[in-house]
Each structure stands twice: as structure tokens, then as C-alpha cells.
Amino acid sequence: MTGLRIDNLAIRLPKGGDRTHALSGITLAVAPGEILCVVGESGSGKSVTASAVMGLLAPGLMVEQGSVTLNGQDLLALTPEQWRTTRGERIAMVFQEPMTALNPLMTVGRQLAEMWIVHRGLSRRDALARAEAALTEVQLPDPAGALNAFPHELSGGQRQRVMIAMALALEPELLICDEPTTALDVTTQAQVLTLIRDLQRRHNTAVMFITHDFGVVAEIADRVAVMQLGRLVEEGPAAQVLKAPQHPYTQALLAAVPPLNAPAARLAGSGEPVLELDGLTKTYASRGIFRRRKPVRALDGISATLRRGTTLGIVGESGSGKSTLARCVVGLMGLDGGAIRIAGRPLPPDRQKAAHLAQMVFQDPYASLNPRRSVGAQVAQGPIAAGTPRDAAWAEARRLFSLVGLDPDSVRRYPHEFSGGQRQRIGIARALAMKPEVLVADEPVSALDVSVQAQVLALLRELQAQLGLSILFITHDLRVAAQLCDEVVVMQNGRVAEAGPVAEVFTNPRHAYTQSLLAAVPGRAVLEG
Amino acid sequence: MRALKAFFRSPPAIIGLLLVLAVVVMGLVAPVLYPNDPLGLAGRPLQWPGANPRFPLGTDPSGRDIAAQLFHGARISLLIGFVATSIAVAIGILVGALAGFYGGVTDTVLMRVTEAFQTLPNFLLLLVLVAVFGSTLEVVTVAIGLVSWPPVARLTRAEFLSLRTREFVHAARIQGLPDWHLIFREVLPNALPPVIVYASVVMAVAILLESSLAFLQLSDPNVPSWGNLIGLGRSVLRTEWYVSAIPGVAILLSILGVSLLGQGLNDALNPRLAPR
């Protein structure tokens, strides 16, 4: 029996949760040289599965029945002492956020070399030589230089490469990847996925790859296991599960993946411009006595126009300046140059007057609501400050709650009583309460599960049709942009790389950067083919 | 309602509440149980507790009833604790909120002032204030408040620094809400739990500071405070140790009560910790 086998595993949750078991009756196998993708939404139990295999179950979780074996050895029976040699040597893990998994005070070379010094007893010099070879293997641009770099001096993609080098250092039999590319840009993600695939083939490693993204599954999986609420609902070869899903849940998940090809152009509003951006510039200078870093041009002459009743998408990778742009439009940040005009007028410096021109929906549904105030108060407070009587503002808040698909009676509740998708609806209601000319949505769906994401996108489309909203939609996800936007602006390093109607830009990209972005969208060949 | 339930589900919080209530009750019943001046002569000095049924806790070196002083002292300790803490927390929150919310020059100026206060040992500063303005109860209370606010200010500032860039604060700003709303309605409620817990520490320290002053016989000698009683027992500490020990235990228990109460309040006020 080779590889990892999970047999009829059940894990109990502590009493008082919303269900009794984190996992019930999970049976999975990963053979050497194979990549098994475990897919599911949040709460499906995919991460618990990984931590059970690593022997790192959170306190309170208890294995009720079943077995986990690696090449015939029972992992559940290992003592803490045996676990110490098993982890790292036989089972390795790559995490979602490489910055928290690396020690910020140690150079990359020392952290990597430690693997061989501790586990293999190599001398420091030999271990460093191995480390450099490993960094070469993960295709870091300057392996010798990276040895002496601290984690914060590397980019996110480079840090993830270091983590992969560290995970594969001792040639483990099993590699567990827990959403390793979720925090990365789409082009970097594509490179890291290729790298994992290559190395896994070369070392004949069994890989258990945890993800929520079907695009990633399509890129990397040999076999797919779909989980829902702690149960395994479907398992099979990747091509079969993706092309001909059997279980209704898998079908629903796949249907919720937004297609990349844009729908036919819709009637584009009245055509009158409501938001005009004219040559915006914004530079972040580093402050302090020692100006070590070069000033960064976050916005470098951005011009764009949003027409009334339409959606203008701003797409780009991290560092492209798209979030800075959003913040400037709603007045959270001052400009260095250029002008923003909303409904023909420049953005007034007075916060209260600006509130009726632009409102924003934020990315993180957990950080964008005040945990200590009732959600209704947070929706009504803006109109109240603008002079609406209290009763009218609360009545309006209740009306908005039903408009965004929430129970109007829930206005008295507190944010922690709502799910992520519901919170995002509250955020939309809060923005709409001010009746803004322009709604700025900064990655409003990127923190949500794919099925919830589809619901929120549908809501935004519905509201736009109903209220004639003009939306400035910031996103890194080209699939989402294709679904919602009428026109897109592709940003790169603070400049506009390409702009135009979404169907035209996505089917006929002219700029090399747009082309590379589109090519990197995971799962294109399989899901769109 | 929910906060109350959570509070009463935690045994330490209940113990804290009971201890504080006990001190409050002692203060309330003092004039009923001991209507005479607790500082008046009552009997032969230095009678051991239990030796004379008229003085269950004995008498001090001047022949005054220790039990009477203990009950009346509860009022003084509570008064000093609450008033001095309120002064310290009010100044501290105001300074810390302004410095943390506005940053820049405001922050620099306010924090340098705070540091100026902090670099002076607070007991020395207290001695100076009492030496200059006299040692009446009012002066002592205000002076304790004035030397206790810098840590509160620093704590509030740190909370504000991390909270002011949260998305919900940005959202309120975009909604056109004025600064006072952002500070007092959005940020402060979220910054409050550690400040509330720290307030219980301030209260405990305030009671202790008064006792220390009294021990040096620099507090108001005309009020029956626990500190004064400890100070009186100092000269007979080796033989009649109970004179200092009895008010010492009272101080210990009330400080413990205040601390447990603060911790319990923090747990209960946090909606995420409260069971649904």
C-alpha cells in the first residue's frame, strides 16, 4: 500500500457547534506522483482533513473513527516524538500566506539550511550549498543573493517559491498544499502552479492540494475530491469531475465559476459621463530621515470615464495602483495631480457633500462593519448625519435591507451574527443609503466563496438594472470583471495598459500585459473549452 | 442583556463583583453600625482582636476602634478609587484618542507631554503635588488622578492607531460623518475593552497610592482611611501586627475584587466572546 490513504475518517467537533462532525466518513487516497485536489467552500472540512493528516488537529477536535496511513504506517498512532521526525521529513506543507510561515528575523538561507542541519546533521556549509541548489530548482532569479535576503525583501511569489523549496528539501513522500496560490497574483499563480507540477513529477511526490478555486483545479489536478459540510460528495479523475460532474453540489459549484467570455454588450446606459478621471497622479514618498526607498508612483497619469448606468472595471495585479485609484475617487486620499469630476463637478473637500457623490463597498466583509454597533445603525448613520430624520433613516435602512435580500427585521442585529456574503450585502446597503452618483466597489467578492460570490454579483447586476447605478468596479479577477463590467481599464504599474469595451479587450487583447493576464487565468483551457 | 448573562456566567467576575459589593456595603452601613466618630477615642489602646467583645477587631495605638475605622475607611478608599480613576481615564482617553486619531503634529506634541509625565516616578510627582497644594482629601484624590493618566493615554493611542485605518472607519468617513462621530462612535467603543480592564488596574493603584501616602503620614489625617490605619500600625508592627494587617487584607481583597470585576466586564462587553 503506497502513498497516503485516509479510510472512513470521522472527526468530532466540540459540543455546541452548528454541526456535530467536522468530517464524517472521508475516504481518500493519494498515490506517489499524483496530485489530488480537495475542493470545497469554507466550512467544507478540507483544511481539517489536511491538519488531520499533519497531526495538527485544533484543540477540541477528536478523531472518532477511521485511519490515516502513509505508505502503510498508521499516522494516527504516532507519538509526539515520532511526529517531529515525520513532519518535514515525510510529510511537508505549503501554506497560503508564506510571510507568516517564515521567520522574519532570519535570512532565507539560514531557515532553509536548518532543514538539513536539524534533520540530516549536515555541516553549515554543506547545508547552505544544498539550500542554494534548492533555490535554483524553484527558479528564484538570484539564488545566491536570495540566501542572504530576509523574507520581507522578497515578493509574495518568491516567498512562496522559498516555502516550496523548504517543503521539498527532505524529499517528503507527501506534500500538502493549503491554498498556496490564493494570496498571489494571477500571473505569479500560474508560474507557481507550473513549478509545483514540475517538481512533483521530478520527485515523484504525492500531493494533496487544497483549494476553493476550480480554475486552479483544472490547471493542476490528476484527481479531484469535492467536499461539502464534512462529507465527500464526489471523487474522480479531474477531466471527468470537471467535464461531467455527477453530484448536484459539484454541478452547482462549477456553474458558479464565472465564465471568462463576456456576455453580449448590454445597452450602455444614457451614455452621459458620470465619473471623469483626468490624468490622475499619486506618489508615495517614503518618509523619515533615511529615505531608503524610492518614491513609488501608484498612479501615473490615469484617465478614464464611467458612463451613467454602466460598470467600469479596473483590473490589474497587486501594486498596479487600482486600490489607490478607488481611495482617491471616494476622497479617502488626496491626489498629487489631475482631476476627478463626478456628475460634472470636482470632488468637494467637505466630506459631507462628497458623501452623496461617491460611496464605496469594501473587500473584507469582516473588517468593513463596526463589530460593536448594530448593522442598521451603520446603514442609517450616514443619512442621519446628512440631516434625514432618525425615523425616516431607519425606515430607509429597513427598505434597503429587503432590497439587498436581507430580512428587514435584522437591522437591530450585530455584524457577527451574519455570514460573509450577508455582510457584503449590508456593505452595499450602507453605500446605497447615501444615494451616491457613483458606487466604488473595491474587490467586493474576492473574499467570498464562489457560490456566494455569484449571488453577490447577481445582486449588483440586479441593483444596477433597478436603480441605474454607475459602478466603478475594482478587481484582480478577470472572470468576475467579464461578468459585471461594460468597459474595462487594465492597469499596470500605475498606468493604463489598455482600455475599452470588455468583450473587445478580453477577446482581442492588444497590449502584451493584457494578453499575459488573460493567458494566466487558471483553468481556461478546461473550463472554457 | 446578553452582556449581563455572559458576565454572570463567569465565576471570577462574580467573585470580583461580590468583593466590590462587600466594600460598597461596608461603606454604606458604616454610619449605622458605627455612628460615632471612628477617629474618636474608644477604649484602651492596642487590645488584640477578640480580647474585648466591644472591639471585635481590636484597637489601634491611640485606642480607636479598628472595626469602625475599617468600615468608614471603605468609603474613603472607594471614593478615592472611583474619582481618581475617572479623572485618569477621562484625561487618558481624551489625550490618547486625539493623538492616535489625528497623528502627525498633534500626536507628537501630546505624546511628548505624556512622556514628560511618565518619566517622573508617579509617587514622587504625587508627593510634590501634595506638598505644594496641601494634603486634604480633595487634593490627594485629584493628584492621584493627575499622576495616573499617562498609561491610559498610551494604551488608548495604540488602540486608535490600529483601529483608525480599519475599513469600517473609512466607510463611516466616506458616509460623511464628522470626526467626533468617528472618534467616539466608531473607534472608541472598539478601543474601550483594554482601557476598561486597565481602569481597574488604575483604581487598584489609586487605592494603593493613597495608602502609601497615608503610610508616610502625608495623606489627610482627618479621614479614617485604611492607609492611615496601616501607617498607625507601623510603629508597633513587630508586636501588634494586626493593626497594619487588618486594613492590609481589606486593601488586598478590594483590589482583587476590582481587578476581577474589570476582567469580567471586558469578557462580557465583547460581543464576539459572548455565547449566542
Beta-carbon separation of A417 and B276 below 8 A: yes
User: Which amino acid appears at position A256 of this protein?
Assistant: A
Mean pLDDT value of segment B82-95: 94
Least confident of A152-166, A431-445, B87-101: A152-166
The CATH code of the domain at A269-347+438-529 is 3.40.50.300
Domain map of chain A by residue range?
A: 102-171, 269-347+438-529, 365-435
Name the residue in chain B with its Cα closest to that of A367.
Answer: B167
Residue A473, pLDDT score: 95
Residue B272, pLDDT score: 55
Predicted model pTM: 0.82
Cα angle, residue A124 at apex, residues A118 and A125 outer, rounded to 5°: 145
Beta-carbon separation of A330 and B174 below 8 A: yes
Assess: ipTM above 0.95. no
Predicted confidence band of residue A264 (pLDDT cuts 50, 70, 90): low
Least confident of A121-125, A347-351, B88-92: A347-351
Order of strands across the sheet with A4-12? A21-30, A4-12, A62-70, A73-74
| Residue B265, min C-alpha distance to chain A (Å) | 15
Residue B54, pLDDT score: 77
Q: Are strands A438-442 and A358-361 parallel, antiparallel or unpaired?
A: parallel
Q: Is A381 on the interface with B (CB under 8 A)?
A: yes
Residue B274, pLDDT score: 45
Mean pLDDT value of segment B52-78: 84
DSSP letter for each residue of A425-467: HHHHHHHHTT--SEEEEESTTTTS-HHHHHHHHHHHHHHHHHH
Beta-carbon separation of B167 and A359 below 8 A: no
Q: Would you say the C-alpha torsion A196, A199, A201, A207 has a positive or negative sign? A: negative
- Three-class SS state of B241: coil
Mutant choice from A328, A329, A370, A438 vs B, greatest count of B C-beta within 10 A: A370
- Compute CA distances A422 → A265, A359, A415, B272, whole Å: 30, 19, 9, 17
Place of cell 448590454: A266
pLDDT at A223 over 70: yes
Residue B276, pLDDT score: 36
Q: Give the containing element (helix H, strand E) for A473.
A: strand A471-475
Distance, in Å, from the CA atom of A182 to the CA atom of A42, rounded to the nearest integer, reads: 13
Q: Is B238 on the interface with A (CB under 8 A)?
A: no
| Residue A384, min C-alpha distance to chain B (Å) | 9
C-alpha cell at B196: 476598561
pLDDT at B2 over 80: no
Q: Is B168 on the interface with A (CB under 8 A)?
A: yes
Residue B163, pLDDT score: 92
pLDDT at A289 over 60: no
User: Which amino acid appears at position B230 of this protein?
Assistant: I
User: What residues pair up with A29 in beta bridges, in sequence order?
Assistant: A5
pLDDT at A262 over 90: no
Name the residue in chain A with its Cα closest to that of B185.
Answer: A373
* pLDDT tens per residue, range A400-459: 999 999 999 999 999 988 988 999 999 999 999 999 999 999 989 888 888 888 899 999
Order of strands across the sheet with A35-39? A91-94, A174-178, A206-211, A35-39, A223-228, A231-237
Distance, in Å, from the CA atom of A322 to the CA atom of B218, rounded to the nearest integer, reads: 64
Beta-carbon separation of B176 and A416 below 8 A: no
pLDDT at A372 over 50: yes
pLDDT, mean over chain A:
88
CATH 3.40.50.300 fits B22-30+65-267, yes or no: no
Name the residue in chain A with its Cα closest to that of B274.
Answer: A416
DSSP letter for each residue of A220-287: H-SEEEEEETTEEEEEEEHHHHHHS--SHHHHHHHHHSPPSSPPPPPP--S--EEEEEEEEEEEE---
pLDDT at B76 over 50: yes
Name the residue in chain A with its Cα closest to that of B180.
Answer: A385
CB B214 within 8 A of CB B141: no
pLDDT at A248 over 70: yes
Task: Please give the share of chain A, as a percent, with pLDDT higher than 70.
Answer: 96
Q: Is B167 on the interface with A (CB under 8 A)?
A: yes
Beta-carbon separation of B189 and A373 below 8 A: yes
Place of cell 505508505: A71
Q: Which of B190, B41, B92 is nearest to A416 (CA)?
A: B190
Q: Would you say the C-alpha torsion A196, A201, A207, A210 has a positive or negative sign? A: positive
